[in-house]
Structure 1
Amino acid sequence: MQVVIFKLNNEQFAVQTDKVQTITDGMKITSVPKAPDYIKGLINLRGNVISLLDINLLLNIPKTEEEKDNVIIIEIEDELVGICVDEVDEVLDIDENIIEKSTDENRKEYVQGIINFKDRIVTLIDIDKLF
């Protein structure tokens, strides 16, 4: 399984690369009046208008003080959405045997599992269940 690892407020998360369309930064964000809090706005990616979601709010993770503009474009049910992340770390091939089931009751519906590397722990998100 191949995953993209990214950071949100010094925590590491991963999504499967088969959901990821592209990774970009420096996008101009157009705000949407009266939109829910988790919608940061709209971005234009090669002529496609895409909703930009605040994944920190959806995962209940405090934001860092420094606003980052890294965006991961994800395909969910034939629709593209963007998520803002603090930093995109790497793309890795992992053995599915190292994924442990999560015991975190607060996030369990979104969390596909925990990837336990020797030097760090990465939370694997089931992006379809998150949205």
Structure 2
Amino acid sequence: MGEELKVIVFTLAHEQYGVEVERVRTIERMQPLTRVPKTPAFVKGVINLRGVVVPVIDLRGRFQLPESDYTDNSRIIIVAVKEMEVGLIVDSANDVLDVNTDSIEDPPEIVGGIRAKYLRGVAKLSGGNLLVLLNLEEVLNKSEIVQLEQLEA
């Protein structure tokens, strides 16, 4: 019997994704972003979160999904990636679920247009629904993390 994994469920382009609760620091409402020049287009800027400068990326842009306007449901999920905090803009953050690790399968090559390297796996939920789990280390590769760390400095 596998272990229970707690995940935050969020929506991106009408698909459900999850990230481990232990990686999430906080979930914030959308707020004004300070744009930073010479960063990739999906890096939307930085925010001042309780005195800490946090880089923010738009997951739609990162995954090359169609952009959409931010709504009252849009959220910034602050996650820990390799000893730094990064904000991820998502369409909405919905729920916390317990996922049995036995129900997680390796991701197919492409899910919803997103390449497998960004995915940790796909969890089969009750009712036949699927939940795509993100691999945060790949969502931001090493060179991008170095770039973001320079923003924090």
Instruction: Tell me the equivalent position of 1:124.
Output: 133
Flag as ranges the 4+ runs of structure 1 deviating above 4 A: none
The number of aligned residues is 130
Structure with the bigger percentage of helix: 2
Output the CA distance in 2 between the equivalents of 1:60 and 1:116: 25
Provide the TM-score with structure 1 as the length reference: 0.91
Q: CA deviation at 1:119?
A: 4.3
Instruction: Tell me the equivalent position of 2:149.
Output: none
Provide the TM-score with structure 2 as the length reference: 0.79
RMSD across aligned positions (CA): 1.5
Instruction: Tell me the equivalent position of 2:70.
Output: 67
Structure having the higher Rg: 2
**1:90 paired to 2:95:** yes
Q: CA deviation at 1:60?
A: 2.2
Alignment of 1:13-52 (within 5 A): 13-52=17-56
Identical amino acids, percent of aligned pairs:
30
Instruction: Tell me the equivalent position of 1:56.
Output: 60
Output the CA distance in 2 between the equivalents of 1:26 and 1:15: 19
- Aligned match for 1:9, one of 4, 13, 35: 13
SS in structure 1 opposite 2:115?
A: coil
Kept in 2, the 8 Å contact 1:8–1:63? The answer is no
Partner letter of residue 67 of structure 1? Y
Give per-residue Cα distances to partners, 1:76-129, cap 9 Å, x unaligned: 111111010000010111111111211124511111111122242211111112
Q: Which structure 2 residue ranges, 5 or more long, are not aligned? A: 141-153
